[in-house]
Amino acid sequence: MEITVQLAQTRKPKPQDESKLGFGKLFTDHMFVMEYDADQGWHDARIVPYDTFQLSPASSVLHYGQSIFEGLKAYRRKDGGVQIFRQRDNFERMNRSAARMCMPQLDVDFCEKALIQLLKLEEEWVPHSEGTSLYIRPTMVANDATLGVHAAHSYIFYIILSPVGAYYAEGLKPVKIFVENEYVRAVKGGTGFAKTAANYAASILAGEIAARRGYAQVLWLDGKERRYVEEVGSMNIMFVIDGTLVSPALQGSILPGITRDSVLKLAKDKGMKVEERPITIQEVFDSQASGKLQEVFGTGTAAVISPVSHLDWDGNIIEIGGGEMGPVASYMYDTLTGIQFGAKDDPFHWITRIS
């Protein structure tokens, strides 16, 4: 399929002070869009000026939430070039989300080509300062203008780009996390493994309550017994217990994070003992009591590596690693960002150069 290009008449000014970027507040001059319907399949692929969409008030995504998205980043190398990280994994995960949400499959090769063409056009938007990058948000939404509950026949897929700094206001400073005992994010058989809007909508109330209590995020427990640790919602979670890196096993209700997978591979490569297994919140607190809990950190595209300083479970608050970022989190942060920004070798072939 051919991609047509319509250039923006005017260009927005690039941010002067990259230390104030925050996350996802500003968007570049162009976006990629294509549409799907049952007769034509995906069609009308185009790069156009960044703009609003016109949607019918009856549009199915607004009512029944067939909506999936991805998050990945473009990084500025020291030599001025730009590169992306594991983009095919993102589009492959998007296809798994699409299958769960009864939405059409994407051609991974074509999405990769469209993304690279868009990035080449928007290259100047990739920020230069340390800790910044260009966040890429591929999104697919249903768009039938009818109110029946069924899989839509029409969809929009688009990619927007946003220059970003740190996801958390704390930056690389450890964050405090509230263990959520009442609300749940996902259950087995549900949509937890899919990157779909509903999972995020389900998380907002608990997130707001935790924020009012001074916590950056909530740690979700399993939906059945509220015993097993799942994920944070904006990131996967990892524990270093007695020298072993432990992360909850993916069993359908946890997002299969690409940063999570990268960190597990880097840990194995370094010869660390790695376990993907069910882990109860009780075990985490018991490990702290016996002095075996060395580190807790989150992993995500937006969050990168985010050390956790405190966990609050039902009013029991533990401080982890003296409230400081530990050596495993530091190693993972340095190695991962080193690969992403081109300062370190890329032994796993995760990088694609744009320029």
Residues lying near ligand COI in the complex (CB under 6 A) are found at 71, 234, 300-302
> Which C-beta is closer to ligand COI: that of 196 or that of 234?
234
Nearer to ligand COI, 60 or 133 (CB): 133
Closer CB to ligand COI, 90 or 287, in the complex: 90
Tell me the closest approach of the beta carbon of residue 74 to ligand COI, in angstroms.
13
Structure tokens at 15: 């941010």
Residue 9 CB coordination number (10 Å): 7
Provide the 10 A C-beta neighbour count for residue 56: 11
Residues 6+ apart with CB under 8 A from 40: none
3-state secondary structure (DSSP) of residue 354: coil
> What is the nearest approach in angstroms of ligand COI to the Cβ of residue 73?
8
DSSP 311-345: EEETTEEEE-GGGS--HHHHHHHHHHHHHHTTSS-
Which CB sits closer to ligand COI, 71 or 127? 71
Q: Residue 288 or residue 352: which is nearer to ligand COI going by CB? A: 352
The two tokens of residue 306 are 């985010």
Tell me the closest approach of the beta carbon of residue 320 to ligand COI, in angstroms: 22
- Both tokens of 202, joined, read 């389900």
Shortest distance (Å) from residue 134 CB to ligand COI: 12
Non-local CB neighbours of 63 within 8 Å, separated by 6+ positions: 147
Angle at 120 between CA 118 and CA 123, to 5 degrees: 105
- DSSP structure string for 250-304: --SSS---HHHHHHHHHHHHTT-EEEE---BHHHHHHHHHTT-EEEEEEEETTTE
Tell me the closest approach of the beta carbon of residue 194 to ligand COI, in angstroms.
Answer: 12
Shortest Cβ contact with ligand COI: which residue? Answer: 71
Minimum separation from the CB atom of position 96 to ligand COI (A): 15
Q: Which is nearer to ligand COI, 162 or 294 (CB)?
A: 162
Residue type, 240: V
For ligand COI, which is the closer residue by CB, 34 or 303? 303
CB of 71 to ligand COI, least distance (A): 2
How far is it, in rounded angstroms, from Cα 260 to Cα 287? 22
Distance, CA of 178 to CA of 313 (rounded, Å): 7
Q: How far is residue 250's CA from residue 278's CA, in Å, rounded to a whole number? A: 9
Among residues 300 and 321, whose Cβ is nearest to ligand COI?
300
Residue 209 CB, nearest approach to ligand COI (Å): 18
Both structure tokens of 312: 């609050």
C-alpha to C-alpha distance for 203 and 255, rounded to whole angstroms: 13
